[in-house]
Structure 1
Amino acid sequence: MWPQVQLLVIGAVLSPGKRTVTAALRVLGLADDPRFGTFHHLLSRACWSSLHASRVLLNLLLAAFVPSGPLILGLDDTTLRRTGVKIQAKGIYRDPVRSSRGHFVKASGLRWLSLMLLTPIPWANRIWALPFLTALVPSQRYHEQRGRPHKTLTDWARQMLRVVQRWCPGRQLIVVADSAYAVIRWISDLQQGRPITVITRLRLDAALYDPAPERGAGQMGRPQLKGGRLPTLVSLVDDPKTHWKRVSLHRWYGETHREVEIVSQSAIWYHNGLPPLPERWVLIRDPQGKFSTQALLCTDLIQTPMQILEYFVQRWQVEVTFEEVRAHLGVETQRQWTDLASARTTPALLGLFSLVTLMAHERWQGQDVWVRRAA
Structure 2
Amino acid sequence: MSLNLPAGIASIIQLFSRLFSTRVWKQAEVLMIGAILTTRKRTVSSILEVMGIAHEKNFQNYHRVLSRAVWSNLEASRILLMILVSIFVPSEPIIMGIDDTIERRKGKNIKAKGIYRDPVRSSHSQFVKVSGLRWLAVMLLVEIPWAQRVWALPFFTALAPSERYNQQLKRRHKSLTDWGRQMMLQIRRWLPNRELVMVADSSFAALELLFRVSQHKLPIHMITRLRLDAALYQPAPNRQSGTMGRPALKGRRLPNLEHISVDPNTHWQTVIVNNWYGQGKREVEICSDTAVWYHTAKPVVPIRWVLIRDPKGKFETQAILSTGLFYSPIQILEWFVRRWQVEVTFEEVRAHLGVETQRQWSDKAIARTTPLLLGLFSLVTVLAHHLQNDFQWQVRQTSWYSKHLPSFSDALALVRRFFWASTFSMSHESFEMVKVPRPLFERLRDIAVYAA
Both structures adopt the same fold (TM-score exceeding 0.5):
yes
* 2:134 and 2:160 in contact (8 A); partners too: yes
CA separation of 1:333 and 1:258: change in aligned 2, threshold 3 A = same
Q: Give me the whole-angstrom Cα distance separating, in 2, the residues matched to 1:151 and 1:25.
A: 37
Once the two structures are superposed, the pairs formed by residues 329-348 of structure 1 within 5 Å of their partners are 329-348=353-372
Distance 1:208 1:104 in 2: 33
Q: Does 1:189 align with 2:212?
A: yes
- C-alpha distance in 1 between matches for 2:195 and 2:130: 37
Q: Retained in 2: the 8 A contact 1:76–1:113?
A: yes
How many matched pairs?
375
Deviations 1:263-294 (A, max 9, x none): 10101100000111110000000111111111
Q: Which amino acid aligns with 1:122?
A: P
CA contact (8 A) 2:135 2:160 kept: yes
Q: Secondary structure at the match of 1:30?
A: coil
Structure 2 counterpart of 1:296: 320
Is the CA contact 1:123–1:369 (under 8 Å) kept in the aligned structure 2? no
* 1:333 to partner: Cα distance: 0.9
The letter of the residue matching 2:262 is D
Structure 1 CA distance for aligned equivalents of residues 95 and 327 of structure 2: 14
8 Å CA contact 1:282–1:295 kept in 2: the answer is yes
Cα distance, 1:208 vs structure 2: 0.6
Match of 1:176 among 199, 203, 207: 199
1:230, distance to aligned residue in structure 2 (A): 0.9
Task: Specify the alignment match of 1:370 in structure 2.
Answer: 394
Larger Rg, first or second structure (1 or 2)? 2
Distance 2:336 2:391 in 1: 31
Counting helix residues as a fraction of each chain, which structure ranks higher? 2
Q: 2:71 corresponds to which letter in structure 1?
A: W
What does residue 419 of structure 2 align with? none
Q: Does 1:79 align with 2:102?
A: yes
- Per the TM alignment, residue 250 of structure 1 is displaced from its structure 2 partner at its CA by 1.1
Shift of 1:368: 5.3
* Cα drift, residue 194 of structure 1: 1.3
Q: Note the C-alpha offset of 1:244.
A: 1.0
Correspondences of 1:26-175 after superposition (within 5 Å): 26-175=49-198
Aligned equivalents of 1:366 and 1:24: distance in 2? 27
SS at match of 1:68: coil
**Partner residue, 2:249:** 225
- The one-letter amino acid paired with 1:160 is M
Greater mean alpha carbon deviation, residues 180-189 or residues 190-199: 190-199
Structure 1: any 5+ residue segments left out of the alignment? none
TM-score (norm 1): 0.97
Question: Partner amino acid for 1:256?
Answer: G
- The CA distance in 1 between the partners of 2:292 and 2:395, in whole Å, is 51
Give the stretch that moved more between structures: 179-188 or 18-27: 18-27
Gaps of 5+ in 2: 1-23, 400-452
1:171-210 Cα distance to aligned partner (Å, 9 max, x none): 0110000000000011101122211100000011101111
Once residues 391 and 240 of structure 2 are traced to their aligned partners in structure 1, the CA distance between those partners, rounded to angstroms, is 66
CA contact 2:192–2:218 (8 Å) conserved in 1: no
CA distance in 2, matches of 1:18, 1:370: 25
Summarize deviations over 1:82-107 as a string: whole Å, max 9, x none. 10111110011111122222221111
The separation in 2 between residues aligned to 1:112 and 1:79, in whole angstroms, is: 6
The question of whether the paired residues in 1 share the 8 Å contact of 2:113 and 2:131 is answered with: yes
Output the CA distance in 2 between the equivalents of 1:253 and 1:227.
37
Please list every run of at least 4 consecutive aligned residues from structure 1 whose deviation after the TM superposition is greater than 4 angstroms.
Answer: 372-375
Higher strand proportion (structure 1 or 2) = 1
Query: Structure 1 residue 217: deviation in Å?
Result: 2.3
Post-superposition shift, 1:373?
5.2
2:383 is paired with a residue whose SS is helix
The one-letter code of the counterpart of 1:316 is W
Q: Deviations over 1:330-360 (max 9, x none)?
A: 1011110110000000000000000000100
Distance in 2 of aligned mates of 1:372 and 1:172: 38
Any conservation in 2 of the 1:73–1:117 contact (CA below 8 Å)?
yes
- Quote how far apart the aligned CAs of 1:367 are: 6.8
Secondary structure (helix, strand or coil) at the match of 2:151 reads strand
